[in-house]
Structure 1
Amino acid sequence: MRFLRYLFLFLAAFVAALFTYGNWTRVGINLWSGLVADVNLPFLLLVTFLAGFMPMWIYHLTARWRLRQRLQTTERTVEALRVSLPASEPVVVPAAADVAALP
């Protein structure tokens, strides 16, 4: 399975390299006060991808952290309840043969 992951990553990097090679052109971006920034197209696409990806990734990390904290709190509560409950005697259920022998 790890081989397939590395194969996919290699193919994605290869496609990205081909895209970068084929689209290495300058793009003018109009900024404030009449400033124009000339940026390579692959760099511009990378920046816009990261601008959209990073907020969702940060949200995902915080949600995972919050759920992990809730799970740890729940596990501590369950462990505390296990320790505080007195040990009860095991319940013995009669077997089917014993039930048939009862009057």
Structure 2
Amino acid sequence: MQFLKTLFWVLLAVVLVLFGTRNWADVTLNLWGDIQADIKIPLLLLIVFLLGLIPTWLVMRARMWSTNRRIEALERHQATAAESVAPASEGPVI
């Protein structure tokens, strides 16, 4: 299974490199007003991908942090509850 995963990532990297080399051309972006920017197509795609990925990743990390805090609080509560429970009697068990 690890081989298939590695093969997938290698093929994806090869496809991205081929796409980048074949489309290494300037694109003119018309920004606000009369401002224009020239940028290569693969760099533009990378910037747009990161602009979409970073907010989603930040939301995921915030949810993981919150979930981990809840789990740790529950584990602390469970540990203190287990310590506070004492045996009912010290007599022999029949």
Distance in 2 (CA, whole Å) between partners of 1:67 and 1:12 is: 33
Q: Greater relative contact order (Cα 8 A, min sep 6): structure 1 or 2? A: 2
If the length of structure 1 is used for normalisation, what is the TM-score? 0.80
**Aligned-pair Cα RMSD in Å:** 1.8
SS at structure 2 position matched to 1:24: coil
Distance in 2 (CA, whole Å) between partners of 1:11 and 1:48 is: 22
> How many equivalent residue pairs?
91
Correspondence for 1:27: 27
If the length of structure 2 is used for normalisation, what is the TM-score? 0.87
Q: For the pair shown, which has the larger CA radius of gyration, 1 or 2? A: 1
SS at structure 2 position matched to 1:34: coil
- Cα distance change of structure 1 residues 9 and 88 upon mapping to structure 2, 3 Å threshold: farther
| Deviation beyond 3 Å, 4+ runs, structure 1 | none
Structure 1 residue ranges without an equivalent (≥5): 93-103
CA deviations over 1:56-92 (Å, ceiling 9, x no partner)? 0011011001101100000000010000011257x98
Displacement of 1:38 after TM fit? Answer: 0.7
